[in-house]
């Protein structure tokens, strides 16, 4: 089975991470450093900020929930379709959720009136559409709304060469109302180990940190994070694979059938709409051929006919395209 439903780097985990994990295994008898001191210092150096601005968690999902508990908003705004955990974390703290629907396909993102929202969740690039927030408009919006916390989830940004231009981490000294969420599970393929971090101005970072249970980030995850950050070559190889494969996959899939409409994606996954067919049905047909894709019909703002497909290695992507071609030819070029 080849899994295109999870958006994890297919080149990982880095070899050095696996080596360190083997070496660290005997250490699991001892408690981890609850403050993740060394990893926080390394991340701070990497982003050129102070260690006190970093909060490390058991995957970025833990941080999304910690932010909701720290800020306790009565009302939040989301830009749909987007990652569902913002909704769940908000409901957990009893918030009302106001959904702003992105423009129609290709789902351009633009600042919106958040009404009475006391927190805004944004995803950049957005899951599942792969769209980026326009950087200047996003910064101007945040500047004009200094009283509202903006939580910007950059889980997939490290795949992009243009990471620096789009990341809000370098702007945090000007934006005390921003929390940036980063995941190490996507870019370094540590989804089963769990590692993520939030970055914010020190007072906000402290209040998020106070919501994380002690020893939440285990010894192996901390060691893996350090090894991953030291492997600059892995990040370069990933970005090289990403830009080459993004382009090749887009070209192939775009020309496949007038029945398939691809949302132009800047991320390591694509939202695909089947113009006249069902995504549940297509996902089932592909599963019978050993290919798993994400039926995206349950995202707010999407409907049956939407699939999300992750970018994988060239041979895997070629296999998916070949199966789609064969399905299309069996069905007279429509789905």
Ligand X SMILES: Cc1ncc(COP(=O)(O)O)c(C=O)c1O
What one-character DSSP code corresponds to residue 258? T
Euclidean distance between CA atoms 277 and 306, whole angstroms: 9
State in angstroms the smallest separation of the CB of 86 from ligand X: 9
Euclidean distance between CA atoms 139 and 262, whole angstroms: 28
**Residue 286 is a binding residue for ligand X (CB under 6 A):** no
State in angstroms the smallest separation of the CB of 286 from ligand X: 20
Please, are residues 115 and 97 in contact by the beta-carbon 8 Å criterion? no
- The residues in 38-97 that bind ligand X, with binding defined as CB under 6 A, are 59-61, 83
Euclidean distance between CA atoms 21 and 193, whole angstroms: 10
Binding track over 222-261 against ligand X, x by CB under 6 A: ----------------------------------------
> Cβ closer to ligand X: 60 or 78?
60
What one-character DSSP code corresponds to residue 148? S
> Cβ closer to ligand X: 296 or 324?
296
Nearest residue by C-beta to ligand X? Answer: 59
- The residues in 138-157 that bind ligand X, with binding defined as CB under 6 A, are 153, 155
State in angstroms the smallest separation of the CB of 285 from ligand X: 24
> Cβ closer to ligand X: 219 or 308?
308
> Cβ closer to ligand X: 183 or 265?
183
Euclidean distance between CA atoms 75 and 96, whole angstroms: 5
Q: Which of 2, 53, 177, 185 binds ligand X (CB under 6 A)?
A: 185
The alpha carbon of 51 is separated from its chain's Cα centroid by a whole number of angstroms, namely 23
Q: Which of 36, 102, 120, 123 binds ligand X (CB under 6 A)?
A: 123
Q: Which listed range, 142-150, 183-191, 253-261, 317-325, lies at the site for ligand X (CB under 6 A)?
A: 183-191
* Secondary structure class of 200 (helix, strand, coil): strand
Dihedral sign for Cα atoms in the order 328, 273, 1, 311: positive
Euclidean distance between CA atoms 320 and 29, whole angstroms: 43
> Cβ closer to ligand X: 155 or 168?
155
**Residue 129 is a binding residue for ligand X (CB under 6 A):** no
> Cβ closer to ligand X: 59 or 73?
59
State in angstroms the smallest separation of the CB of 279 from ligand X: 18
CB-based contacts of 112: which residues, under 8 Å, 6+ apart?
77, 79, 100
Q: C-alpha dihedral over 236, 242, 248, 251, to 10 degrees?
A: -140
Q: How many residues bind ligand X (CB under 6 A)?
A: 12
What one-character DSSP code corresponds to residue 168? S
The DSSP result for 317-331, as a single string, is: HHHHHHHHHHHHHHT
List contacts with ligand X (CB under 6 A).
59-61, 83, 123, 127, 153, 155, 183, 185, 191, 196
């Amino acid at each position: 089975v080849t899994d295109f439903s999870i958006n994890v780097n297919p080149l990982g985990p880095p070899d050095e991470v696996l080596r360190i994990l083997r070496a660290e295994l005997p250490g699991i008898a001892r408690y981890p450093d609850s403050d993740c001191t060394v990893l926080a210092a390394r991340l701070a150096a990497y982003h050129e900020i102070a260690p006190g601005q970093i909060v490390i968690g058991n995957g970025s999902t833990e941080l999304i929930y910690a932010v909701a508990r720290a800020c306790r908003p009565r009302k939040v705004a989301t830009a749909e379709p987007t990652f569902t955990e913002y909704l769940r974390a908000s409901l957990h703290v009893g918030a009302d959720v106001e959904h702003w629907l992105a423009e129609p396909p290709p789902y351009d993102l633009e600042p919106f009136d958040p009404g009475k929202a006391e927190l805004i969740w944004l995803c950049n690039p957005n899951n599942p559409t792969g769209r980026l927030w326009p950087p200047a408009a996003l910064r101007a919006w945040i500047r004009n709304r200094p009283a509202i916390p903006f939580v910007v989830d950059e889980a997939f940004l490290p795949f992009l060469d243009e990471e620096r231009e789009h990341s809000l981490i370098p702007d945090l000294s000007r934006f005390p109302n921003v929390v940036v969420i980063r995941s190490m599970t996507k870019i370094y393929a540590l989804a089963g180990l769990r590692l993520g971090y939030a970055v914010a101005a020190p007072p906000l970072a402290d209040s998020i940190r106070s919501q994380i249970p002690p020893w939440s980030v285990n010894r192996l995850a901390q060691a893996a994070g350090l090894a991953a950050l030291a492997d600059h070559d892995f990040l370069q190889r990933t970005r090289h694979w990403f830009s080459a494969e993004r382009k090749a996959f887009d070209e192939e899939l775009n020309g496949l059938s007038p029945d398939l409409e691809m949302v132009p994606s800047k991320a390591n996954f694509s939202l695909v709409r089947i113009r006249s067919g069902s995504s549940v049905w297509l996902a089932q047909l592909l599963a019978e051929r050993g290919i798993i894709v994400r039926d995206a019909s349950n995202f707010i703002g999407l409907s049956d006919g939407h699939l999300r497909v992750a970018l994988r290695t060239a041979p895997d992507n070629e296999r998916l395209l070949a199966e789609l071609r064969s399905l299309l030819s069996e069905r007279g070029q429509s789905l």
